[in-house]
Structure 1
Amino acid sequence: MTFTLRALLVAASATRVLASCAHGTFLRPRAEEGGAVQVGTFGYIGTIGPLNWAALETPANNACATGTRQSPIDMVEGVFTVLQGSDVQLTVNDMPAGAEFENLGTTVEIITQGGTLNVADKQFELQQFHFHLPSEHLDNGTSQAMEMHMVFQSAAQEIAVVGAYINIADAAPAAATKKRSSRINNNNRRQEAAAPPAAAAITPTTLLETIFSVVDQIATPGTKVTTPPLVMSEVVDLLKANAFQIYAGSLTTPPCSEGVSWHVSTARLGVTPASFTKVRDVIGFNARYPQNTPGQPNLLMISALGSAAAAVADAAAAAA
C-alpha cells in the first residue's frame, strides 16, 4: 500500500519542508532574532500543493497522506467538544514596541512576545500567530474569509492552536431614514414587529487593522517589518467571551504532525474590505483542503486505494 500511494503521488523536490504552523516551536525552531526569514518550500497549488506534500519529503511528511486525525476539518456537531472561554486561562502580552511581522512565502506571521494558554491542567506558551485565506476550518460547511492561528507549545513539546475566523466587516450603517408615513397599514406593522433580529454586525478588529496596515511592506517572501504597537486585549477578551470548539487534530502544513489540540473559537474577528484586499494580494490562497472526520481514513489513502482497485479491475478485464 505504501508503494502504491507513493507511485500515485507526483515526485517533487526533496528539499526540507518547513511547517509555518510550527514556526517557533520544537518542529521549527525560530532563527536568531534579526536573522533571515526562512521561506517555506511547500505550497498550496500544483506539485508542491497539499495533494503532494507527502512526496516532498519522506518519511517526514507521510502523515499528510496517511494520518487519520488530520486538520483542518468541517466543524460540525459531533466532531468537537465545547469549552466556554471563561473556563480557559488565556493571556497574551501587549507589544508596545511592535512585533516582527514576516512573510514566510506560505503565510504572514507575527512573532509574539509572551502569552499562555492553560487548559486541562496544562500550560502552553504562545510562539506566534499567522493567517490563512480563506479559512482552513469550515463552520458547519461554510468557509469564512480568513482564519488566524495562534500557536502554543508546552514544556513537553505538545502543540495547541487557537483558531479564530475572520470575516469582512460590515459597511458602516446608513444614516437613519425618515419615519414611514402613518398610512402604513397595521398588517405591515405586525410583519415588521415579528421579523427576527438581524445577526450581530462584524466590526473591524483594531489589532488586525494595525497589523495589516503594514502587510504591503512584506509583499516579497523572506521580508519582514516591525508593526506599530499591538494591543492584544481586544482579541483576548473576545475569545474569552465566547466558546471554544475542541478536537484533536494535526498541523495544517507539512509535516502534518498529529496530536495537536485545536481550540476553534466561536468568536468572529473582522477586517475592512480594504485590509482584506491588501492581505489577499500578499498571501493569496493558502488554505489546506478540509480533511476527513477525525478517526476516519485519510482522503489520500482512500483515493489511492480506489485508484489501485480500478487498475486491478482494468487489468482483469483486459486479461479476460
Structure 2
Amino acid sequence: MLMYGFSPKNIFLALGIVVGTAMWIPSLVVAQDSPLLDLGAELEQLKGKQPATEHAAPKPASIQPTTQVSPAPKKKVEPVHTAVEHRIDEPLHWGYSGSEGPKYWGELSAEFSTCKNGKNQSPIDLRDANAVGTQGLADLDIRYRDVPLKIENNGHSIQVNYPLGSYIKVGGKRYELLQYHFHTPSEHMKEGFNYPMEMHIVHRDGDGNFAVIGVIFQEGEENEYLNTLLNVLPKKTAKQKIYSALSVNPAYFIPANTEFYKYSGSLTTPPCTEGVYWMVFKQPITASAEQIQQMNEVMGVNARPVNPVNSRTILKSWSEVGQQEPIYEYY
C-alpha cells in the first residue's frame, strides 16, 4: 500500500528523495491499516415522486324505462394533468450546457436547490493576494493503496473508483478515498485563469462529510500515469470496467511542491452539497497537449463556472516573505 505521511521538512518518494521547504510535505512509505465500514463509492441516487394515479370515472346509475327522469346537468370535466417526474430508480439528468447546464441546476429539482441558493459554493477563483497565510495547519497524511483499475465514463466525467482501505487523515480525522475524476478545463481558477484540466480526489468520513483534493494540470511534458488511463479510456457511457493487471494510484499525481489552498466549499456537481473540506494544490502538474485533448474529446467541457467567495476566508499553507497580513493559527 502506498502511503503519504507529511513531515515538516522533507518529501520522501518511492522513486527518489526530494527536499523542500513547504510547511506540509509528504513521504512515501508502506502501511497496512484496517478499513472503515463500507461507505460506498457513489452518492445515493436521488429519489423522485410517483406519477399521480388516475381513477376510473364511476358508472352512471341504471334508469328504469317507465320512469321519467330529467337529465342531470353535465359537469365540466377538468383535464387530468399528470406531473412529469423522473423514476425512483432513474437519476435526474443534468449537464453542462443549455437548459440543463450549471445556471439552471438549482431549478431542475428541489434536491438541487443548494446549487442556486448556497452561499459557500465551489469552485472559486484562488488568488494569493486574497488568501491568508497560516501556521499550524492540521497535519495531512495520504495513504493510498495500489489496487486494480476500476474506470467508468459516467456521462459527466472519467472516473476511477476505489475500494475501501485507502484514505487521508486531516488533523487525525480519517476520510476514506471514494474516487477520483477529471474536468476540462479546470474548475478552480488561479489568479483569474482556468487551466486546461483539473483532477478531484474525493474522500468521505463515516459521518458523510466530504474532503476533496484538487490537482491542476498545465500543458507541458507528457504524464506517464495519465497514459495508463488513456489506453483504456471509455469513450461511451457504460458500466464500470475493471482491469486487474493495471493500477493508477492517485498519489502519483501529487505535485512535488505541496503548498495548497484550503477553504470550505461544496461539491461542484448536483446536489452541490456544502461543508466540503477543499485542499487545492498551488503548483500545477503537467500533461501533454495531446493527452489533455484526448480527455476533452471524451468528456467535453465539464467544468462548473466559479462562484463568489462571499464571506469565506481562503487559507494558504505558506506565508509570503515579509507579508504584512496577519498569520492565523488554524486548528
Structure 1: distance between partners of 2:198 and 2:109: 27
- Could you say which residue in structure 2 is the equivalent of 1:109? 159
* Match of residue 148, structure 1, among 193, 199, 204: 199
Task: Name the TM-score, length of structure 1 as normaliser.
Answer: 0.64
Following superposition, the deviation at residue 274 of structure 1 comes to 2.3
The answer to whether the aligner puts 1:166 opposite 2:166 as a matched pair is no
Aligned AA (2:311): G
Distance in 2 between residues matched to 1:27 and 1:262, nearest whole Å? 22
Amino acid at match of 2:126: M
**8 Å CA contact 1:70, 1:252 repeated in 2:** yes
Partner of 1:70: 121
Give the direction of change, closer, same or farther, for the CA distance of 1:94–1:64 in structure 2 (3 Å limit). Answer: same
Identical residues among aligned pairs (%): 29
CA 82–27 in structure 1, closer or farther in 2 if over 3 Å, else same = farther
Q: Which runs of 5+ in 1 are unaligned?
A: 1-21, 30-37, 170-202, 297-320
The aligned counterpart of 1:235 is 252
| Pairing 1:139–2:153 present | no
RMSD of Structure 2 on Structure 1 (CA): 2.8
**Separation of aligned partners in 1, 2:134 and 2:178:** 24
Q: For 2:249, give the aligned amino acid.
A: M
Give, in whole Å, the separation in 1 of the partners of 2:114 and 2:223.
35
Give the distance between the partners of 1:263 and 1:165, measured in 2 at CA: 11
Matched, 1:221 2:271: no
Matched, 1:210 2:228: yes
Q: Structure 1 residues 263, 234: closer, same or farther in 2, change over 3 A?
A: closer
Alignment partner of 1:118 is 2:169: yes
Preserved CA contact (<8 Å) 2:45 2:91:
no
Q: Spell out, residue by residue over 1:277-315, the C-alpha distance to the aligned partner (whole angstroms, 9 max, x if none).
A: 21111100000000001438xxxxxxxxxxxxxxxxxxx
The count of corresponding residues between Structure 1 and Structure 2 is: 228
2:270 counterpart (228, 231, 254): 254
Query: Which has the larger share of strand?
Result: 2
Instruction: Quote how far apart the aligned CAs of 1:219 are.
Output: 1.1
Moved more, 129-138 or 223-232: 223-232
Secondary structure of 2:104's aligned partner: helix
Q: Deviations over 1:193-244 (max 9, x none)?
A: xxxxxxxxxx3332212112221xx2112244335522527626x4474122
Bigger mean CA offset, 287-296 vs 41-50: 287-296
Matched residue SS, 1:267: coil
AA aligned to 1:105 is G
- Work out whether 1:41 is the aligned partner of 2:93: yes
Which structure has the larger Rg? 2
**Residue 302 of structure 2: aligned partner:** 286
Structure having greater relative contact order (Cα 8 Å, sep ≥ 6) = 1
Aligned to 1:316: none
Give the 3 Å change call, closer, same or farther, for CA 87–160 of structure 1 in structure 2. Answer: same
Is the CA contact 1:54–1:62 (under 8 Å) kept in the aligned structure 2? yes
CA distance in 2, matches of 1:64, 1:204: 36
Alpha carbons of structure 1 residues 243 and 281: separation in structure 2 relative to 1, 3 Å: same
Farther off after superposition, 128-137 or 220-229? 220-229
Contact 1:133–1:285, Cα closer than 8 Å, also in 2:
yes
Going by fraction, where is helix more abundant, 1 or 2? 1
Q: Relative to structure 1, is the Cα distance of residues 85 and 248 closer, same or farther in structure 2, using a 3 angstrom cutoff?
A: closer
Distance 1:101 1:39, change over 3 A: farther
* Kept after mapping to 2: 8 A contact 1:133/1:147: yes
Shift of 1:252: 0.4
